[in-house]
Amino acid sequence: MGMRAIHRIPPARERLFHRSGNRGGCPSIGSAGLMLDNLSSRVKGIIPQLITRTNQLIDVLDSARAMASSGGASRSTVRVFLPSFHSLGRSREGRALASFLQEFGTTGQEDGRINSFEGLIPFTSGGSDFMLLYLGMNSPSRMSRSSIISQEKREAARASHNLSHRPLDSKYSIRLAGKEDVSQLVELYSNIFTAYLTDLDEKAVSSMVETTPTLVSTHGGRVVAALAAEHADFSVEGLGRLDMVEVSEAATSAAHRGNRLYSHMIEMFLSTSERDLGPSSTIRYAETRASHPAAARGAILAGGKVCGFLNKHCVINAVRDVEELGDHENLNVVHFQGA
């Protein structure tokens, strides 16, 4: 792919990413524990515990299924921290857990839900290897057709072929968003999304700009692209402190696509988050729309690697290159090793 140009955010602030505890201000990452998301009809959660035994994981999955059943949710998506598969292979308990995970996605339905091993993000902490797993449990009515899944996975694979990055075109500039950009950001989002997993009205966007590192690309003084970077830090039992950075709320005006704006903004966030948080005990990733392969392509151009596929994960509706049905979309998980 060649040398990537790394751009740095002008030092308007000393640090962009601060560790202050996850207080639920990250709509995409979410909070520790399980929660019911009525908008997307799902149970989602991050379990703040290092899972090392099969019965621990079974308890988590059973709790997620029970919450989904009582709340009328058609999907559960659980993210759990585990030692790497290599590490699990060193003990009898670990091998039993690895075997359970391998069977999880092949056992078909359980309590009327279809199990899916959806993604694996590797990371290091304290010199040891770990993984963040996505485990999905969907009702049959919330499963994409196999033909759509196959097409979207093929498109994601093609996105990594024949890539050529290039410097940011001089007619564009990238900077931190401010309150003066809120009205243009609302206009940008409203022109792209007809449904989204969180509000993108003036109040919500104003709060995002104030509390979440947000970049805008401008052309002729107008905002033509935007990207936010949610940051949550967790205290994980058995693992210690862990940071998660998800690039999200991405949007590019149709007239300015193809100029690598998304890739350049990701690179800026990667270099800045590594500076502020360090390379270890930090998971950097994106969840890109599978029906819009350009998003995965842009993330790969910024150094990412596709490592998962989330089935009908949440409410998103915008222009689709693959004809998914309904407001729930499939997402690719893209992992960034760092800047």
pTM confidence score: 0.91
Those residues with Cβ within 8 angstroms of residue 170's Cβ, 6 or more apart along the chain or in another chain: none
Q: Identify the pLDDT of residue 14.
A: 60
Q: Identify the pLDDT of residue 25.
A: 60
Looking at the structure, give the CATH architecture of the domain made up of residues 146-336. 3-Layer(aba) Sandwich (3.40)
Q: Identify the pLDDT of residue 320.
A: 80
Averaged confidence pLDDT in the chain: 89
Higher local confidence (pLDDT), 16 or 53:
53
Q: Identify the pLDDT of residue 161.
A: 78
- Angstrom distances, CA of residue 14 to CA of 10, 52, 265: 10, 39, 18
Per-residue pLDDT band at 309 (split at 50, 70, 90): very high
Lowest mean pLDDT segment, chosen from 1-15, 45-59, 116-130, 184-198: 1-15
Four-point Cα dihedral 193, 229, 159, 264, nearest 10: 110
